[in-house]
Structure 1
Amino acid sequence: MLKNNRLIADAARARGAVVPLLDVCHALYGETLRSGHAGADMAAVVHALRARTRAGRRPPTGPDEVSGRAAAVRPPGRAG
């Protein structure tokens, strides 16, 4: 799921789309993978959400917090 998410986000960006929800999903999928749930389906992100809650962490709020690459991508027609 992590690889597919990144492929979709990259393809969307190549066409000028802004995809902040895919960036947040990518972060959650990565946390899920690192927490030992690589073999589980997408519903396993609940483990990442529970870990964030226990740690008192808030979710990332934008591409700058989720992906350094995404921070450089701007919507078409907007100055950055």
Structure 2
Amino acid sequence: MDPWGCEVESAVVESKFEDNFTPSQGFTKLSDSAQYLAVLERKLQVVRSQNKVLENLSAYREDCINRLMRDGCDLDPVIGDTEAEKLLQE
């Protein structure tokens, strides 16, 4: 029973999608699809040639690892590291 006093109709739920994600039988390509794909491929080449983000991040990561290996990781605070402590020492 519905707490608001409305009648609830039970719905029948089917266990498949309406079109089941299959292409229709009458599928035809658009007339300019080859041109569209060529434009997209050119844009992809431009993005691949100009986008060096992954390479830069990889180089930065390697640099950080090398610095940690070379200099070590000192987690203990050092006296005089903060500006306030530097002012107190003067």
Indicate the TM-score class for this superposition, using the shorter chain for normalisation. under 0.3
TM-score under structure 1 normalisation?
0.24
| The structure with more helix, counted as a fraction of residues | 1
Which gives a bigger RCO, structure 1 or 2 (Cα 8 Å, sep 6+)?
A: 1
* Higher-Rg member (1/2): 2
Please give the TM-score of this superposition, normalised by the length of structure 2. Answer: 0.22
